A and B are shown apart, each in its own frame.
Chain A
Amino acid sequence: MGPARIASPGADSDARAAFETDALEFVDSLYRTALRLTRVPSDAEDLVQDTYLKAFRGADSFKPGTNLRAWLFTILHNTARNRARDRARDSVTVDSEVVDQAADTPQFAMAGRVDDPETLLLRNTMTPELKAAVDELPDAFRQAVWLRDVEEFSYAEIAEMLNIPLGTVMSRISRGRRMLFGRLQHLRPVNA
Protein backbone atom coordinates (compact mmCIF):
# COMPACT_ATOMS: atom_id res chain seq x y z
CA MET A 1 0.00 0.00 0.00
CA GLY A 2 2.91 2.31 -0.45
CA PRO A 3 1.47 5.41 -1.99
CA ALA A 4 4.63 6.09 -3.96
CA ARG A 5 3.89 3.46 -6.57
CA ILE A 6 0.54 4.95 -7.39
CA ALA A 7 0.76 6.82 -10.61
CA SER A 8 -1.22 9.84 -11.58
CA PRO A 9 -4.69 8.52 -12.31
CA GLY A 10 -5.44 11.08 -14.93
CA ALA A 11 -2.18 10.72 -16.83
CA ASP A 12 -3.16 7.90 -19.14
CA SER A 13 -5.35 4.87 -19.32
CA ASP A 14 -2.73 2.52 -17.88
CA ALA A 15 -2.20 4.66 -14.83
CA ARG A 16 -5.91 4.91 -14.44
CA ALA A 17 -6.33 1.16 -14.52
CA ALA A 18 -3.60 0.82 -11.91
CA PHE A 19 -5.27 3.49 -9.82
CA GLU A 20 -8.62 1.74 -9.87
CA THR A 21 -7.08 -1.63 -9.09
CA ASP A 22 -5.08 -0.15 -6.21
CA ALA A 23 -8.16 1.59 -4.86
CA LEU A 24 -10.12 -1.66 -4.86
CA GLU A 25 -7.57 -3.23 -2.54
CA PHE A 26 -8.99 -1.17 0.31
CA VAL A 27 -12.55 -2.41 0.04
CA ASP A 28 -12.30 -4.51 3.24
CA SER A 29 -10.84 -1.71 5.25
CA LEU A 30 -13.45 0.76 3.95
CA TYR A 31 -16.27 -1.67 4.57
CA ARG A 32 -15.24 -2.27 8.18
CA THR A 33 -15.07 1.42 8.83
CA ALA A 34 -18.39 1.96 7.06
CA LEU A 35 -19.92 -0.73 9.22
CA ARG A 36 -18.65 1.05 12.29
CA LEU A 37 -20.17 4.31 11.06
CA THR A 38 -23.54 2.98 9.97
CA ARG A 39 -23.78 -0.15 12.15
CA VAL A 40 -26.05 -1.63 9.49
CA PRO A 41 -24.46 -3.95 6.89
CA SER A 42 -26.68 -2.90 4.01
CA ASP A 43 -26.02 0.78 4.72
CA ALA A 44 -22.31 0.08 4.96
CA GLU A 45 -22.29 -1.65 1.59
CA ASP A 46 -24.17 1.23 0.09
CA LEU A 47 -21.74 3.70 1.54
CA VAL A 48 -18.70 1.84 0.24
CA GLN A 49 -20.15 1.52 -3.23
CA ASP A 50 -20.94 5.20 -3.29
CA THR A 51 -17.41 5.93 -2.12
CA TYR A 52 -15.88 3.99 -5.02
CA LEU A 53 -18.18 5.60 -7.52
CA LYS A 54 -17.08 9.05 -6.35
CA ALA A 55 -13.45 7.98 -6.16
CA PHE A 56 -13.38 6.67 -9.73
CA ARG A 57 -15.19 9.67 -11.10
CA GLY A 58 -13.01 12.05 -9.13
CA ALA A 59 -9.77 10.17 -9.73
CA ASP A 60 -8.17 13.26 -11.23
CA SER A 61 -8.34 15.07 -7.92
CA PHE A 62 -6.19 12.45 -6.22
CA LYS A 63 -2.65 13.74 -5.72
CA PRO A 64 -0.13 11.07 -6.69
CA GLY A 65 2.34 10.36 -3.94
CA THR A 66 -0.22 10.96 -1.19
CA ASN A 67 -1.95 8.24 0.76
CA LEU A 68 -4.62 6.65 -1.43
CA ARG A 69 -6.23 4.86 1.52
CA ALA A 70 -6.54 8.14 3.42
CA TRP A 71 -8.04 9.77 0.34
CA LEU A 72 -10.66 7.03 0.05
CA PHE A 73 -11.41 7.29 3.76
CA THR A 74 -11.98 11.01 3.33
CA ILE A 75 -14.51 10.36 0.58
CA LEU A 76 -16.17 7.72 2.73
CA HIS A 77 -16.53 10.07 5.68
CA ASN A 78 -17.68 12.98 3.53
CA THR A 79 -20.32 10.77 2.00
CA ALA A 80 -21.44 9.52 5.38
CA ARG A 81 -21.58 13.07 6.69
CA ASN A 82 -23.67 14.26 3.80
CA ARG A 83 -26.08 11.43 4.35
CA ALA A 84 -26.34 12.20 8.03
CA ARG A 85 -26.94 15.83 7.18
CA ASP A 86 -29.66 14.79 4.79
CA ARG A 87 -31.31 13.03 7.66
CA ALA A 88 -30.97 16.24 9.66
CA ARG A 89 -28.97 14.67 12.40
CA ASP A 90 -25.99 16.30 13.95
CA SER A 91 -24.90 13.81 16.50
CA VAL A 92 -21.46 15.35 16.86
CA THR A 93 -22.65 18.47 18.61
CA VAL A 94 -24.79 16.54 21.02
CA ASP A 95 -22.10 13.98 21.67
CA SER A 96 -19.50 16.60 22.44
CA GLU A 97 -21.66 18.10 25.13
CA VAL A 98 -22.34 14.76 26.72
CA VAL A 99 -18.70 13.89 26.79
CA ASP A 100 -17.56 17.25 28.04
CA GLN A 101 -19.40 16.41 31.21
CA ALA A 102 -18.32 12.79 31.26
CA ALA A 103 -14.60 13.30 30.82
CA ASP A 104 -12.03 14.05 33.47
CA THR A 105 -13.46 11.97 36.24
CA PRO A 106 -11.23 11.02 39.17
CA GLN A 107 -10.61 7.51 37.89
CA PHE A 108 -7.36 8.65 36.30
CA ALA A 109 -5.74 9.43 39.59
CA MET A 110 -6.27 5.81 40.40
CA ALA A 111 -4.88 4.72 37.05
CA GLY A 112 -1.79 6.70 37.88
CA ARG A 113 -1.28 4.80 41.09
CA VAL A 114 -1.72 1.22 39.94
CA ASP A 115 1.43 -0.37 38.71
CA ASP A 116 0.56 -1.01 35.12
CA PRO A 117 -2.96 -0.30 33.84
CA GLU A 118 -1.84 -1.29 30.37
CA THR A 119 -1.02 -4.86 31.33
CA LEU A 120 -4.10 -5.09 33.50
CA LEU A 121 -6.33 -3.91 30.70
CA LEU A 122 -4.77 -6.20 28.14
CA ARG A 123 -5.08 -9.16 30.46
CA ASN A 124 -8.53 -8.50 31.82
CA THR A 125 -10.46 -7.07 28.90
CA MET A 126 -12.40 -9.54 26.81
CA THR A 127 -12.83 -8.69 23.16
CA PRO A 128 -16.66 -8.66 23.32
CA GLU A 129 -16.67 -6.14 26.15
CA LEU A 130 -14.09 -4.01 24.35
CA LYS A 131 -16.23 -4.15 21.22
CA ALA A 132 -19.32 -3.18 23.17
CA ALA A 133 -17.50 -0.31 24.85
CA VAL A 134 -16.25 0.99 21.48
CA ASP A 135 -19.73 0.72 20.01
CA GLU A 136 -21.20 2.64 22.91
CA LEU A 137 -18.91 5.60 22.37
CA PRO A 138 -20.56 8.64 20.86
CA ASP A 139 -19.96 8.71 17.09
CA ALA A 140 -17.50 11.58 17.07
CA PHE A 141 -15.19 9.97 19.59
CA ARG A 142 -15.52 6.47 18.28
CA GLN A 143 -14.50 7.66 14.82
CA ALA A 144 -11.48 9.55 16.05
CA VAL A 145 -10.17 6.72 18.23
CA TRP A 146 -10.87 4.17 15.53
CA LEU A 147 -9.07 6.09 12.81
CA ARG A 148 -6.07 6.64 15.02
CA ASP A 149 -5.65 3.41 16.97
CA VAL A 150 -7.06 0.84 14.57
CA GLU A 151 -6.53 2.39 11.14
CA GLU A 152 -3.40 4.29 12.22
CA PHE A 153 -3.96 7.46 10.26
CA SER A 154 -2.07 10.62 11.17
CA TYR A 155 -3.76 13.50 12.98
CA ALA A 156 -3.65 15.52 9.76
CA GLU A 157 -5.27 12.76 7.73
CA ILE A 158 -8.00 12.35 10.32
CA ALA A 159 -8.58 16.11 10.38
CA GLU A 160 -9.14 16.01 6.63
CA MET A 161 -11.44 13.01 6.82
CA LEU A 162 -13.61 14.36 9.58
CA ASN A 163 -13.33 17.93 8.35
CA ILE A 164 -12.34 19.24 11.76
CA PRO A 165 -9.30 21.18 13.05
CA LEU A 166 -6.22 19.30 14.20
CA GLY A 167 -6.77 20.32 17.80
CA THR A 168 -10.26 18.87 17.71
CA VAL A 169 -8.88 15.60 16.36
CA MET A 170 -6.57 15.35 19.35
CA SER A 171 -9.22 16.26 21.87
CA ARG A 172 -11.65 13.74 20.41
CA ILE A 173 -9.07 10.98 20.48
CA SER A 174 -8.24 11.98 24.01
CA ARG A 175 -11.79 11.94 25.22
CA GLY A 176 -12.68 8.80 23.32
CA ARG A 177 -9.80 6.92 24.87
CA ARG A 178 -10.55 8.19 28.34
CA MET A 179 -14.19 7.28 28.05
CA LEU A 180 -13.26 3.81 26.91
CA PHE A 181 -10.85 3.45 29.77
CA GLY A 182 -13.50 4.54 32.22
CA ARG A 183 -15.98 2.04 30.90
CA LEU A 184 -13.60 -0.88 30.81
CA GLN A 185 -12.30 0.04 34.23
CA HIS A 186 -15.83 0.06 35.49
CA LEU A 187 -16.46 -3.48 34.26
CA ARG A 188 -13.82 -4.93 36.53
CA PRO A 189 -13.90 -5.47 40.25
CA VAL A 190 -11.88 -2.54 41.50
CA ASN A 191 -9.20 -3.59 43.90
CA ALA A 192 -6.02 -2.86 42.02
Chain B
Amino acid sequence: MPDCSRIDPLVTPFVDGELPQDEQQTLTQHITACPACRGKVMAERAIRSVMQARRAELSGPPAPASLKARCARLDSRPVPAAPSVKSEFPSVPSLRAPAWRNRVAPFALAATLLLAVGGAFIYQATRSSSRVLAAELTVDHEKCFRLNRLLGTHHSPETVEASMASAFDWKVQLPDEGGQGELNLVGSRPCLSGEGKMAHIMYTYNGQPVSLFMLPRETRASELVQVFGHHARIWSEGGRTFVLVARESASEMEHMAALVRTTIR
Protein backbone atom coordinates (compact mmCIF):
# COMPACT_ATOMS: atom_id res chain seq x y z
CA MET B 1 0.00 0.00 0.00
CA PRO B 2 1.39 3.42 -0.91
CA ASP B 3 2.23 5.57 2.07
CA CYS B 4 0.11 8.56 3.06
CA SER B 5 2.56 11.18 1.82
CA ARG B 6 2.11 9.85 -1.71
CA ILE B 7 -1.65 9.75 -1.39
CA ASP B 8 -1.98 13.25 0.02
CA PRO B 9 -1.53 15.19 -3.26
CA LEU B 10 -4.28 13.09 -4.85
CA VAL B 11 -6.91 14.10 -2.32
CA THR B 12 -7.83 17.53 -3.73
CA PRO B 13 -8.10 16.49 -7.40
CA PHE B 14 -10.07 13.45 -6.24
CA VAL B 15 -12.57 15.65 -4.42
CA ASP B 16 -12.77 17.91 -7.46
CA GLY B 17 -13.30 15.00 -9.82
CA GLU B 18 -10.07 15.78 -11.65
CA LEU B 19 -8.16 12.61 -10.87
CA PRO B 20 -7.40 10.11 -13.66
CA GLN B 21 -9.12 6.75 -13.30
CA ASP B 22 -6.09 4.69 -12.27
CA GLU B 23 -5.14 7.13 -9.54
CA GLN B 24 -8.72 7.21 -8.35
CA GLN B 25 -8.44 3.49 -7.78
CA THR B 26 -5.20 3.83 -5.90
CA LEU B 27 -6.71 6.46 -3.66
CA THR B 28 -9.96 4.62 -3.07
CA GLN B 29 -8.12 1.50 -2.04
CA HIS B 30 -5.91 3.46 0.29
CA ILE B 31 -8.61 5.37 2.09
CA THR B 32 -10.64 2.23 2.71
CA ALA B 33 -7.86 1.14 4.98
CA CYS B 34 -6.57 4.51 6.22
CA PRO B 35 -8.85 6.66 8.40
CA ALA B 36 -6.43 9.61 8.36
CA CYS B 37 -6.48 9.93 4.57
CA ARG B 38 -10.19 9.18 4.47
CA GLY B 39 -10.62 12.03 6.91
CA LYS B 40 -8.83 14.41 4.54
CA VAL B 41 -11.09 13.44 1.67
CA MET B 42 -14.19 13.88 3.79
CA ALA B 43 -12.98 17.16 5.22
CA GLU B 44 -12.24 18.65 1.81
CA ARG B 45 -15.48 17.36 0.41
CA ALA B 46 -17.38 18.83 3.35
CA ILE B 47 -15.76 22.24 2.85
CA ARG B 48 -16.41 22.19 -0.87
CA SER B 49 -20.07 21.36 -0.25
CA VAL B 50 -20.59 23.99 2.39
CA MET B 51 -18.88 26.67 0.28
CA GLN B 52 -21.05 25.83 -2.70
CA ALA B 53 -24.20 25.62 -0.61
CA ARG B 54 -23.55 29.04 0.91
CA ARG B 55 -22.24 30.67 -2.24
CA ALA B 56 -24.93 33.32 -2.37
CA GLU B 57 -24.49 34.38 1.25
CA LEU B 58 -20.71 34.30 1.03
CA SER B 59 -20.62 36.35 -2.14
CA GLY B 60 -21.57 39.58 -0.46
CA PRO B 61 -23.10 42.66 -2.03
CA PRO B 62 -23.27 43.26 -5.78
CA ALA B 63 -21.17 46.01 -7.28
CA PRO B 64 -22.51 49.50 -6.49
CA ALA B 65 -24.44 51.09 -9.34
CA SER B 66 -21.95 53.94 -9.44
CA LEU B 67 -19.12 51.48 -10.13
CA LYS B 68 -21.08 49.87 -12.94
CA ALA B 69 -21.71 53.25 -14.48
CA ARG B 70 -18.05 54.21 -14.20
CA CYS B 71 -16.92 51.01 -15.86
CA ALA B 72 -19.43 51.39 -18.67
CA ARG B 73 -18.08 54.87 -19.27
CA LEU B 74 -14.48 53.84 -19.60
CA ASP B 75 -13.06 54.74 -22.92
CA SER B 76 -11.35 51.87 -24.59
CA ARG B 77 -9.12 54.04 -26.74
CA PRO B 78 -7.09 57.14 -26.20
CA VAL B 79 -8.96 60.30 -27.12
CA PRO B 80 -7.34 63.06 -29.15
CA ALA B 81 -6.65 65.87 -26.76
CA ALA B 82 -8.11 68.73 -28.71
CA PRO B 83 -11.76 68.86 -29.73
CA SER B 84 -11.60 67.29 -33.14
CA VAL B 85 -14.44 69.31 -34.56
CA LYS B 86 -14.19 73.02 -34.88
CA SER B 87 -16.73 73.86 -37.51
CA GLU B 88 -20.38 73.36 -36.74
CA PHE B 89 -20.84 71.14 -39.77
CA PRO B 90 -19.08 70.67 -43.03
CA SER B 91 -21.02 72.36 -45.76
CA VAL B 92 -23.70 70.15 -47.15
CA PRO B 93 -25.53 71.89 -49.92
CA SER B 94 -29.31 72.14 -49.88
CA LEU B 95 -30.53 70.50 -46.75
CA ARG B 96 -34.17 70.77 -47.60
CA ALA B 97 -36.46 67.83 -47.11
CA PRO B 98 -36.83 66.83 -50.76
CA ALA B 99 -33.14 66.21 -50.77
CA TRP B 100 -33.63 63.07 -48.70
CA ARG B 101 -33.54 60.66 -51.56
CA ASN B 102 -30.53 62.19 -53.19
CA ARG B 103 -28.71 62.68 -50.00
CA VAL B 104 -29.47 59.34 -48.51
CA ALA B 105 -28.65 57.13 -51.42
CA PRO B 106 -25.00 58.17 -51.80
CA PHE B 107 -24.40 57.63 -48.14
CA ALA B 108 -26.32 54.41 -48.16
CA LEU B 109 -27.95 55.45 -44.95
CA ALA B 110 -29.74 52.32 -45.43
CA ALA B 111 -32.33 49.80 -44.78
CA THR B 112 -33.87 50.69 -41.54
CA LEU B 113 -35.05 53.45 -39.35
CA LEU B 114 -36.27 52.51 -35.97
CA LEU B 115 -37.75 54.86 -33.56
CA ALA B 116 -38.28 55.06 -29.91
CA VAL B 117 -40.06 57.76 -28.03
CA GLY B 118 -39.85 58.24 -24.35
CA GLY B 119 -36.54 57.49 -23.39
CA ALA B 120 -33.60 57.07 -21.52
CA PHE B 121 -33.24 59.82 -18.94
CA ILE B 122 -33.41 63.50 -18.55
CA TYR B 123 -29.82 64.47 -18.63
CA GLN B 124 -29.13 67.67 -16.86
CA ALA B 125 -26.89 69.84 -18.86
CA THR B 126 -25.53 71.56 -15.85
CA ARG B 127 -24.68 68.41 -14.01
CA SER B 128 -23.15 66.08 -16.54
CA SER B 129 -20.29 66.73 -18.85
CA SER B 130 -20.57 66.01 -22.54
CA ARG B 131 -18.44 63.00 -21.97
CA VAL B 132 -20.77 61.56 -19.34
CA LEU B 133 -23.77 62.33 -21.51
CA ALA B 134 -22.13 60.63 -24.47
CA ALA B 135 -21.27 57.59 -22.38
CA GLU B 136 -24.76 57.23 -21.01
CA LEU B 137 -26.35 57.64 -24.41
CA THR B 138 -23.95 55.12 -25.89
CA VAL B 139 -25.10 52.59 -23.34
CA ASP B 140 -28.73 53.40 -24.20
CA HIS B 141 -27.90 53.09 -27.86
CA GLU B 142 -26.47 49.59 -27.38
CA LYS B 143 -29.28 48.53 -25.09
CA CYS B 144 -32.08 49.80 -27.31
CA PHE B 145 -30.67 48.13 -30.38
CA ARG B 146 -30.35 44.86 -28.55
CA LEU B 147 -33.92 45.08 -27.32
CA ASN B 148 -35.21 46.09 -30.68
CA ARG B 149 -33.62 43.08 -32.30
CA LEU B 150 -35.91 41.01 -30.11
CA LEU B 151 -39.02 43.09 -30.52
CA GLY B 152 -38.86 43.85 -34.22
CA THR B 153 -41.69 46.34 -34.18
CA HIS B 154 -42.87 48.41 -37.11
CA HIS B 155 -44.49 51.83 -37.18
CA SER B 156 -45.30 54.18 -40.00
CA PRO B 157 -43.47 57.48 -40.40
CA GLU B 158 -46.77 59.26 -39.70
CA THR B 159 -47.09 57.56 -36.33
CA VAL B 160 -43.59 58.51 -35.44
CA GLU B 161 -43.98 62.09 -36.60
CA ALA B 162 -47.23 62.40 -34.65
CA SER B 163 -45.73 61.05 -31.45
CA MET B 164 -42.72 63.31 -31.77
CA ALA B 165 -45.01 66.28 -32.26
CA SER B 166 -47.27 65.44 -29.33
CA ALA B 167 -44.63 64.22 -26.89
CA PHE B 168 -41.95 66.75 -27.64
CA ASP B 169 -43.55 69.42 -29.74
CA TRP B 170 -40.88 68.43 -32.19
CA LYS B 171 -41.68 68.61 -35.87
CA VAL B 172 -39.61 65.99 -37.48
CA GLN B 173 -40.05 65.19 -41.14
CA LEU B 174 -39.52 61.59 -42.05
CA PRO B 175 -39.53 60.27 -45.56
CA ASP B 176 -42.69 58.45 -46.67
CA GLU B 177 -42.68 54.73 -46.33
CA GLY B 178 -41.39 53.08 -49.45
CA GLY B 179 -40.66 56.42 -51.02
CA GLN B 180 -37.40 57.22 -49.41
CA GLY B 181 -34.85 55.37 -51.41
CA GLU B 182 -32.84 53.15 -49.18
CA LEU B 183 -34.14 54.56 -45.96
CA ASN B 184 -36.91 52.58 -44.34
CA LEU B 185 -38.77 53.27 -41.18
CA VAL B 186 -39.34 49.94 -39.52
CA GLY B 187 -40.37 50.53 -35.97
CA SER B 188 -40.92 52.57 -32.91
CA ARG B 189 -41.07 51.63 -29.30
CA PRO B 190 -40.54 53.35 -25.99
CA CYS B 191 -37.18 53.09 -24.31
CA LEU B 192 -37.52 51.17 -21.10
CA SER B 193 -35.44 53.20 -18.71
CA GLY B 194 -37.80 56.12 -18.94
CA GLU B 195 -37.58 58.72 -16.28
CA GLY B 196 -37.60 61.80 -18.31
CA LYS B 197 -38.60 62.46 -21.85
CA MET B 198 -36.10 62.05 -24.55
CA ALA B 199 -36.62 61.07 -28.12
CA HIS B 200 -34.56 58.23 -29.47
CA ILE B 201 -34.58 57.51 -33.18
CA MET B 202 -32.65 54.51 -34.37
CA TYR B 203 -31.23 54.09 -37.83
CA THR B 204 -28.93 51.68 -39.49
CA TYR B 205 -26.16 52.90 -41.67
CA ASN B 206 -24.66 50.21 -43.87
CA GLY B 207 -26.20 47.72 -41.51
CA GLN B 208 -24.60 49.38 -38.51
CA PRO B 209 -26.72 50.86 -35.75
CA VAL B 210 -26.96 54.62 -35.44
CA SER B 211 -28.92 56.47 -32.78
CA LEU B 212 -30.21 60.00 -32.72
CA PHE B 213 -31.20 61.32 -29.31
CA MET B 214 -33.10 64.54 -28.84
CA LEU B 215 -33.07 66.27 -25.48
CA PRO B 216 -35.73 68.96 -25.22
CA ARG B 217 -35.06 72.26 -23.52
CA GLU B 218 -31.34 71.92 -23.43
CA THR B 219 -28.45 73.51 -25.21
CA ARG B 220 -24.86 72.40 -25.29
CA ALA B 221 -21.70 73.30 -27.07
CA SER B 222 -21.10 71.52 -30.33
CA GLU B 223 -18.70 68.66 -29.83
CA LEU B 224 -17.54 65.29 -31.06
CA VAL B 225 -16.82 62.92 -28.19
CA GLN B 226 -15.21 59.54 -28.48
CA VAL B 227 -16.36 57.11 -25.84
CA PHE B 228 -16.71 53.39 -25.37
CA GLY B 229 -15.66 52.68 -28.91
CA HIS B 230 -18.29 55.05 -30.30
CA HIS B 231 -18.45 58.60 -31.49
CA ALA B 232 -21.10 60.90 -30.11
CA ARG B 233 -21.76 64.01 -32.16
CA ILE B 234 -23.46 66.62 -30.00
CA TRP B 235 -25.05 69.82 -31.18
CA SER B 236 -27.92 72.11 -30.26
CA GLU B 237 -30.51 73.73 -32.41
CA GLY B 238 -33.77 75.53 -31.66
CA GLY B 239 -33.39 75.07 -27.92
CA ARG B 240 -32.93 71.32 -28.23
CA THR B 241 -29.83 69.19 -27.98
CA PHE B 242 -29.17 66.40 -30.45
CA VAL B 243 -26.75 63.57 -29.98
CA LEU B 244 -25.87 61.18 -32.75
CA VAL B 245 -24.21 57.96 -31.58
CA ALA B 246 -22.49 55.41 -33.80
CA ARG B 247 -19.32 53.46 -34.32
CA GLU B 248 -18.28 55.46 -37.33
CA SER B 249 -15.34 57.64 -38.20
CA ALA B 250 -15.41 61.32 -37.43
CA SER B 251 -16.04 62.24 -41.06
CA GLU B 252 -18.91 59.75 -41.39
CA MET B 253 -20.37 61.20 -38.22
CA GLU B 254 -20.33 64.64 -39.78
CA HIS B 255 -22.03 63.36 -42.90
CA MET B 256 -24.71 61.66 -40.92
CA ALA B 257 -25.23 64.64 -38.65
CA ALA B 258 -25.64 66.92 -41.62
CA LEU B 259 -28.05 64.48 -43.15
CA VAL B 260 -30.11 64.13 -40.02
CA ARG B 261 -30.48 67.88 -39.80
CA THR B 262 -32.62 67.81 -42.90
CA THR B 263 -35.34 66.18 -40.79
CA ILE B 264 -35.27 68.75 -38.03
CA ARG B 265 -37.37 71.82 -38.10
B66 CB to closest chain A CB, in angstroms? 8
Q: Which residues of A contact B43 (CB under 8 A)?
A: 107-108, 111, 117, 177-178, 181
B60 proximity list for chain A (CB < 8 A): 32, 35-36
Min CB–CB distance B33 → chain A (angstroms): 11
| Assembled-state Cα–Cα distance A65/B51 (Å) | 29
Whether, in the assembled complex, B220 has its beta carbon less than 8 Å from a beta carbon of chain A, the answer is no
Count of CB-CB pairs between chains A and B under 8 Å: 166
* Complex interface: chain A residues within 8 A of B44 (CB): 174, 177-178, 181
Question: In this assembly, does B23 line the interface, its C-beta being within 8 Å of a C-beta of chain A?
Answer: no
- By a CB distance below 8 angstroms, the chain B residues around A84 are none
Q: A1-32 toward B: CB 8 Å interface, digit per residue (1/0)? A: 00000000000011011001100100110111
A173 at the interface (CB under 8 A from B): yes
What is the CB-to-nearest-CB distance from B45 to chain A, in angstroms, rounded to a whole number? Answer: 6
Q: 1/0 contact trace for A27-49 toward B, CB 8 Å?
A: 11011100110000100010011
Q: Besides A107-B43, A108-B43, A177-B48, 5 other CB < 8 A contacts?
A: A56-B75, A56-B76, A112-B38, A131-B57, A174-B8
CB neighbours of A112 from chain B (8 A) = 31, 34-42
B92 at the binding interface (Cβ < 8 Å): no
Task: Evaluate contact between A28 and B50: CB separation under 8 angstroms.
Answer: no
A171 touching B9, Cβ below 8 Å: yes
Report whether A59 and B40 are in contact in the complex, using a CB–CB cutoff of 8 Å.
no
Is the CB–CB distance between B63 and A125 below 8 Å?
A: no
Cα distance, A126 to B22, chains bound together (Å): 38
Number of interface residues of A (CB under 8 A): 58
Measured between beta carbons, the chain A residues less than 8 angstroms from B150 are: none
Do A113 and B58 have beta carbons less than 8 Å apart?
Answer: no
Q: How far is it, in angstroms, between the C-alpha of A13 and the C-alpha of B18 when the chains are bound?
A: 40
Residue A52 lies at the interface, judged by CB distance under 8 Å to chain B? yes
Q: State the Cβ distance, A43 to closest chain B Cβ, in Å.
A: 12
Give chain A's interface secondary structure class.
helix
> Are A117 and B42 in touch, CB under 8 angstroms?
yes
- What are the residues of chain B within 8 A of A35 when measuring CB–CB? 60-61
Q: How far is the CB of B16 from chain A (nearest CB, A)?
A: 7
A17 with B247, Cβ < 8 A, contacts A24-B68, A49-B74 known: yes
State which residues 166-183 of A face B: CB under 8 Å.
Answer: 167, 170-171, 173-174, 177-178, 180-181
Which of B16, B37, B44, B54 has the most chain A CB within a 10 Å cutoff? B44
- Decide: B67 and A109 in contact? CB cutoff 8 A: no
| CA distance in complex: A41, B67 (Å) | 11
* Cβ-closest chain A residue relative to B60: A32
Residues of B within 8 A of A184 (CB): 47, 50
Q: Given A20-B76, A57-B76, decide whether A108 and B58 contact each other with a Cβ distance below 8 A.
A: no
Check: A88 CB closer than 8 A to any chain B CB: no
Alpha-carbon distance between A117 and B34 when the two chains are bound, in angstroms: 16
Question: A99-133, CB under 8 A of B: which get 1 and which 0?
Answer: 00000101111111100111011100101001100
Would you call A13 and B53 a contact (CB within 8 A)?
Answer: no
Indicate the member of A24, A45, A48, A177 with the most B CB atoms within 10 Å.
A177
Residues of B within 8 Å of A180, CB to CB, are 47
With A59-B76, A150-B55 known as contacts, the answer to whether A27 contacts B71 (CB < 8 A) is yes
